[in-house]
Amino acid sequence: MPAVPAETDFVVVGGGIAGLRAAIGLADAGRVLVVSKQEVTESNTQYAQGGIAVALSDDDEVGLHLQDTIEAGDGLVNVEAARVLVEEGPRRIQELIDWGTQFDRSGSRLTFTREGAHSRSRILHAHGDSTGREIGRALVAKARTLENVQFTEFEFTAGLCSDGDRVIGVSLLSPDGKQHVVSSRAVLLATGGAGQVYSDTTNPGVATGDGIAMAYRAGAMIADMEFFQFHPTALSLPEAPRFLLSEALRGEGALLLNPAGQRFMPRYHTLAELAPRDVVARAIVTEIANSSVVPDVCYLDLRHLDPAQVRERFPRIYVTCKQYGVDISTDLVPVRPAAHYLMGGIKTDLSGRSTIAGLYAAGETACTGVHGANRLASNSLLEGLVFGARAADAMRTQSGTTTARKSVEPSSSTSEVTSLSDLKCEFRREMWERAGVVRSGNSLKQLISDISGWQAAVPAIATRESIELQNLLLVGKLVAESALAREESRGAHFRSDFPQRDDASFRKHSVVTNGTVSFQ
């Protein structure tokens, strides 16, 4: 890799779909540095299986996609953001095709499938169940043809640099422990999600909420952190990771069975297995809690489908499950919910601008309100594509100094802990128990108190392990504090002590800044 420059025009932190699309859009406006803490290919985008939603089929309309997005968001969708998403989506998909993205086709026609809460078959997929990986491949290939785009891998972004009024760079931590600053006209945070705050998650290890934590420390507003989407169906085996079992499985006809082997979703929603994700996740948790059968899992059942078609449609899922002794075409597949997608994040406008000058955000790390309280399936990749492009358009006009003076990084006590990994494991378990699919006021208050203690215990040392843990703890605290403040149940946020939706008091977005949660 080329040496990391001390100065550039634009810094893009993150190599997923939002960051890559932004980098491509910025390339003819100046030098672009794309920073990733692992390989550029290691991001949530690479793990997105089901597909990307877009109104392109003959029987679909942009208006129907908008309506489905609004309905899934349970009363909190920013309608203007959603309109931008669905109206600009077709053009961005055509760009991907022009840049070599190989979506699955039947002959010369694109193939569309259906997923939960969609009224039409509008999900494009690639290589069956490797959509994110294929889009990422095409975007990286396109970006590498652009002379002004430079990639740097295995550089950890430790903090943002500021001149007091605006963000003008980033502080990086190299694998050898050396810190250095890159000054820039503007910074885009496209660091993805924060699933690693939970013990059970479909997210890769890099999803530690770094962008949200950095922005918050710098003084940016953070919004809707209580809305963490739990995917209903992650593989649940003792020695296996919580591997995502795409909603597309249910779109193709897979059924859900409870621990006793009985189908149950028709009792919870008229759409049964294709109900919104929050409904399905809570139904699975309820069925497990009400059962005395061991193990405490539900099951995906594809046994009634054509085995050859299942293997062809879901090759990656089939091979992965086989590695753990489960044949999805002939066996019941044990599943439980897992943390999957954060609807909240850095509060931005529709062009990716945060509340701090010079700082932009796009993709899962940002919050435009486009998903409301519950993201519609397969809208996430489209969000990164559309708003990554819009952020680039806004950043192109950003001008100013490129001499960084102040680094905003985490601070903590000098207390020593026996093991950061032990603390991290305890924190993630408690997040799952107290701020997971079902929450309550008392458990959230205890969790917040515990997190404060853990934050004080992390030593103030400039290592990736220490800073990542501080980021996780901060993001977890923001989730818990926002969940405690929202005394209702809506979308992905369910309070057992406030089980009803309360539009009169809470049909608003939560905003956290300087330690205070408010509703706007």
The set of catalytic residues is 277
134's tokens: 């294929």
Residue with tokens 């192109």: 396
Q: What is the dihedral of CA 213, 218, 219, 224, to 10 degrees?
A: -20
Q: What are φ and ψ of residue 474, in 5° steps? A: -65, -45
Cβ atoms of residues 161 and 171 within 8 Å: yes
Q: State the DSSP string of 209-236.
A: -HHHHHHHHTT--EE-TT-EEEEEEEE-
Cα–Cα nearest to 516, from 465, 486, 464, 481: 481
Pairing of strands 186-189, 10-13: parallel
Beta-strand (E) ranges in 194-287? 222-223, 228-235, 255-257
Helices (H) and strands (E) in the chain, counts: 14, 23
Cα dist from 323 to 91, 241, 295, 296, 320, whole Å: 39, 11, 20, 22, 5
Interatomic CA distance for residues 298 and 311, integer angstroms: 22
Interatomic CA distance for residues 140 and 154, integer angstroms: 16
Interatomic CA distance for residues 413 and 183, integer angstroms: 28
For residue 79, the tally of other CB atoms under 10 A from its CB is 14
Alpha helices in 293-363 (DSSP H): 307-313, 315-323
240's tokens: 């296996």
